[in-house]
Structure formats: C-alpha cells, structure tokens
Amino acid sequence: MKPVNVLIVDDHPVFRQGVRDVLEAETGFEVVGEAADGKVALQLTRELRPQVVIMDINLPTMNGLQVTRQIKAKQKDVKVIMLTGYDHEEQIFHAIRAGASAYCPKDVMPDDLVKTIRAAVEGYFVVEDKVLTKDGIEAWLKAKLEVLAGPMGAEPDDMFVPLSPRETEILKLVTKGMSNKEIAYQLGISHQTVKNHMTSILRKLDVSDRTQAAVYALGRGWVRLQDARNL
C-alpha cells in the first residue's frame, strides 16, 4: 500500500521539523516537501501533488485560508489540514468553508494529529474533536452560520474573505502605525482612495476605528504579527 504523501506548510522551520518527525515516526506517511509561505505552498502543491497539505493560517505572501481556497479550486482531491495557533470559532468556520478537511490547534497531541490526517484521507472532516461525514459537516456549517452571521453583520457569501486584497494591504499598513497619507504615498494612490477603503474596512468588520480593525485582523491571522511591530 502506497504511503500518504504530505506537504507541510508553516513559516517556522522548527515547527515544520516537529511535524515531519511525528509523521516519519508513523508507518504509511511520506513527507514530500515543505513550504514557508503561501505562494510557495501553491507552487509545490501543483508540482508535487500531495494527498495531504498540513497548513498554517499565519503565512507570509498569502494566508493559509487563501491558499486553501486556491488549492481546492484546482485540486479538489487534496486534503488540507489546518494546523494553527488561531483557535477561534470564526476562523474554524472560514477554514472549513475554504475547503479544509480538518482544523487542529498547534498543541494537538501527535497521535490525534495522525488520526485526523487518516480520517481526512478517508473522506471525513474533523472539527472541534468531532469526526464528521460530508452531511455532518454541512450541518455543522449551517449551525455555525446561524450563530456567526448576526454579530459579524455580513451576508454568508461575504464571510469567508470580508476584505479585498487591496483592503488587506491597507490594513497591514495600518497595523504598522501608518497614517492615511503615508499609506497613500506607500501604495501610490490618492489620499481619498485610502479613506474610501478605510470606510469600507470599518463597515465590513463592524468596528468603529482603525485600532479595532487592526486588532480584529491580527486576531484572525489576516495580518501577521510580524507585520505589526509598530502597532
């Protein structure tokens, strides 16, 4: 029986090595590659065609949710296991909607990680310590949507990626403490365009100021902590 081919995606080399050690200690797994950022993860997934991608959310160049969505759009058979320190209910919802088969916190026990991967390969979904069928995950998503839609103030189709790429770029600069004028100069756009984007960001996130928007984005991994040293 052929081993399950796995690609590990995380920007911390020590953590990648730890996951590799866990899998190589088990029979039936082969780590075929590693990636430290989102764009490289996409490239390696296309080239190596792994059966399973173990994916962090907080990545350089593209976050793990965006990468997962693009992988599943073109390689539907690839199983994505989100393994991340962002253990938020909303983030779990977004990850499953993006196409992930499972969502695990980084402090997951090695045996549980192995069981999760095996379950995903067999076509199951693993969330909140539950192993679910396709019908089960659809029911889970429906239940979560009913809970989350109200406080988030968004339509279902807007909840996965509430911000456009340009809005995300602007919010990243906000977390660095840059003013609207500084952001406009940095991006080569008008001051009024930045103001318009900021208005849209505050509305989409249902927050009242720039600081709340930055904290919201940081808490969900949309902006990396390393990008916000000046916050």
Whole-angstrom Cα distance, residue 69 to residue 158? 14
What is the tens place of the pLDDT at every residue in 42-53? Answer: 999 999 999 999
- Class of the CATH-defined domain 162-228: mainly alpha
pLDDT band at residue 213 under the 50/70/90 scheme: confident
Pair 188, 196: CB distance under 8 Å: no
SS (H, E, C) 117-154: HHHHHCCCEEECCEEECHHHHHHHHHHHHHHHHHHHCC
pLDDT band at residue 151 under the 50/70/90 scheme: very low
Return the CATH number of 4-147, one of 3.30.70.20, 3.40.50.2300, 3.40.50.2000, 3.10.580.20.
Answer: 3.40.50.2300
Q: Do domains 4-147 and 162-228 have the same CATH topology?
A: no
Specify the higher pLDDT residue, 206 or 52: 52
What are the tokens at 45?
A: 């997934």
pLDDT band at residue 152 under the 50/70/90 scheme: very low
Pair 60, 36: CB distance under 8 Å: yes
Domain assignments of the chain as residue spans, ordered by start: 4-147, 162-228
**What pLDDT does 101 receive?**
97
Specify the higher pLDDT residue, 107 or 224: 107
* pTM exceeding 0.85: no
Tell me the average pLDDT of the chain. 86
